[in-house]
A and B are shown apart, each in its own frame.
Chain A
Amino acid sequence: MNLLTAQAPAGVPRSGKGLALGIWRFVVMALVLALSLAVTPVAVAQADPDREMTTAAPGITADQWRQVRSGETGPNYRDSRHDSNYSLINSSGETWRHIRNRWVSPFGLIAIGGTAALITLFYLIVGRKELEAPRTGRLILRWSLMMRALHWTVATLFLTLALTGLNLLFGKFVFRTLFGDAVWAWMIAASKVLHNYLGPIFGVLLVIMLVSLIKENIPKWHDWVWLKKGGGMIGKKHVDAGFANGGEKGWYWLLASVGLMVVASGFVLDFPNFDQSRDTMQWANVIHAVGALGITAVSLGHIYIGTLGTEGALEAMTTGYVDETWAKEHHNLWYEEVKDQTIPEEEVAARKSSGTGAGPSATRTS
């Protein structure tokens, strides 16, 4: 009975209740000991490795693998990687690869190549849109210096982003074999850095540009007519246009919708430090690529019409002024509003040489 006496606290008289508890403990312990002795021979007999394997753990079922494939994790999912929020199997990765490689990539090339081919064909067959009447020599201010600076900054950034973006999607099929690894490594690294660092600046400037041009781009009924008549190409008649014609407004609203989506998805991809999930970035990438390829294809049209395609269009965005005839032929409704503000060519030239040309103080007249 040493066991029982040892359990009694020193100096405290043992009560009757304490004694009864002590005896119970002794009985239970003896029973456990006797039972374990009796069971041991059976356990030894069962230690056959083959049989143990079949009973030690329940087999992993096909259902469990299905659960893994579907990306289900459950509350008792553990991953030993410190920052891991990944499921065991990333099934969406294969979907993303399929969308990107089988659909976005080839059809993006078709969209851009096709647009370029159509424009070339159009230029060869129809040719440049010349002014119908001779120039009057009287100019109207169309774009302030501020707007021109903004336009060309956004345009330069756009072209850089488009070219580096195209390089990221298609470059490896062309330049790696053409130039070799050393040049290719430099090219593609520069593309990524330019794309990722200039992207956010483009995004901010695009928003500023969209805000400052919204007043001129509110859709009107005559814009719908303009679009239906293909800007005057169908029916060979003049169609009404305000400061911005139907096509320009279409380009504006394309940038204001798809363009902003491209910018937004670009931010998701550019800043992976907000713990956005892999799936989010996959979708952002698809939206970004589809939107950007589409806008790049349409931008070819904007560039063509603004440079080669239309006489007098480029000078509006370089000098800021357009000829009275150009305004009358292309933006008749706007011309009606501003025809009393024409300035003779010589005066504009004199202003420019004296350095007080269409500076920031000159307001855009619309």
Chain B
Amino acid sequence: MAQMKFMCDAERCIECNGCVTACKNANEVPWGIQRRRVVTLNDGEASEMSISVACMHCDDAPCMAVCPTDCFHKTDDGIVLHDKDLCIGCGYCLYACPFGAPQFPQTSAFGERGKMDKCTFCAGGPAESKEEEYEKYGANRIAEGKLPLCAEMCSTKALLAGDAQDVADIFRQRVVQRGHKDGAWSNNPQASTDNLAYDAAQKG
């Protein structure tokens, strides 16, 4: 079974916000909700970098662990989905989430939270009919054999979506090509040797 993952290559992201727009369009996300966001660190400085963030569909998802109604479930593809019929809008998933993914429409008095909305990896959610699914959760592109629109539309292919192994392989190749001695992610002194060995193995 696949283990679906997003990965944003921060050295490729150019902060165009195309993913944000694609997501809003594909899922008809309600006003005030933005399932994907682009964060830029050190904007305007030499060390500027941008990264696109949404639900990362964690293996050990904190939202699932703290939900009082137990409304989350993990699909066979490792996608974290939630049931809006069970959600009570308590906000606990927001407290726990490392990525600020859960959002709540706050249309009633005193900022009372509505039903939580978050990225579904374009995999919809539990519903009786396709129309209801689209209405509640947005597109189900996975059911159509397509990947999330944000990653599909990324102009620099900074945002990758797909099976964790494939995504990791693509990123690994990039790292090898860039020649970072620490493999961009860690301080492993062996990383550069490991990467070259891996690359050699891939080339056969």
Q: Which residues of A contact B (CB under 8 A)?
A: 50, 53-54, 57-60, 62, 64-65, 67-68, 73-74, 76-84, 86, 88-91, 93-94, 96-97, 100-101, 168-169, 171-172, 176, 181, 184-185, 188-189, 191-192, 196, 269-274, 278, 281-282, 285
Contacts and interface: CB of A to CB of B under 8 A. Distances in A.
B39 A168 contact: no
Given A58-B46, A188-B88, A88 B184 contact: no
B113 A100 contact: no
B96 A60 contact: no
The 10 closest A-B pairs by CB, nearest first: A273-B111, A86-B100, A81-B37, A78-B40, A172-B70, A76-B43, A192-B88, A80-B38, A93-B96, A168-B68
B90 interface: yes
B11 interface: yes
**Chain A interface main SS type:** helix
Interface of B: 10-11, 15, 17, 20, 32, 34, 37-49, 51, 53, 62, 65-70, 83, 85-86, 88-92, 94-100, 106, 110-113, 177-180, 182, 184-187
Contacts of A269: 91
A83 B112 contact: no
Nearest to A101: B65
B69 A281 contact: no
Contacts, number: 142
A94 B96 CA distance: 6
B100 A97 contact: no
B39 A88 contact: yes
A185 B87 CA distance: 8
Given A53-B177, A53-B178, A271-B110, A84 B43 contact: no
B184 A60 contact: yes
Nearest to B109: A273
Nearest to B51: A88
B17 A59 contact: no
18 contacts: A57-B11, A58-B46, A62-B185, A76-B43, A79-B40, A80-B38, A83-B32, A84-B100, A86-B100, A88-B41, A88-B51, A96-B96, A97-B66, A100-B66, A184-B86, A189-B88, A272-B91, A282-B95
B53 A88 contact: yes
B68 A188 contact: yes
Contacts of A81: 34, 37, 100
A96 B184 CA distance: 30
Contact of A64 (B41, B65, B99, B180): B41
A181 B86 contact: yes
B139 to A, nearest CB: 20
A272 B66 CA distance: 19
Given A93-B62, A172-B68, A272-B106, A58 B47 contact: yes
A78 B20 CA distance: 14
Contacts of B185: 62, 65
Nearest to B45: A76
A65 to B, nearest CB: 8
Contacts of B47: 58, 64
A100 B180 CA distance: 40
Nearest to A273: B111
Given A77-B43, A80-B38, A93-B98, 5 more contacts: A54-B179, A73-B41, A77-B41, A93-B95, A94-B96
Contacts of B95: 93, 96, 278, 281-282, 285
Contact of A80 (B17, B46, B62, B182): B17
Contacts of A76: 40-45, 48
A39 to B, nearest CB: 23
B180 A59 contact: yes
Contacts of A101: 65-66
A168 B71 CA distance: 13
Contacts of A82: 32, 34
B38 A89 contact: no
Given A96-B95, A184-B86, A272 B111 contact: yes
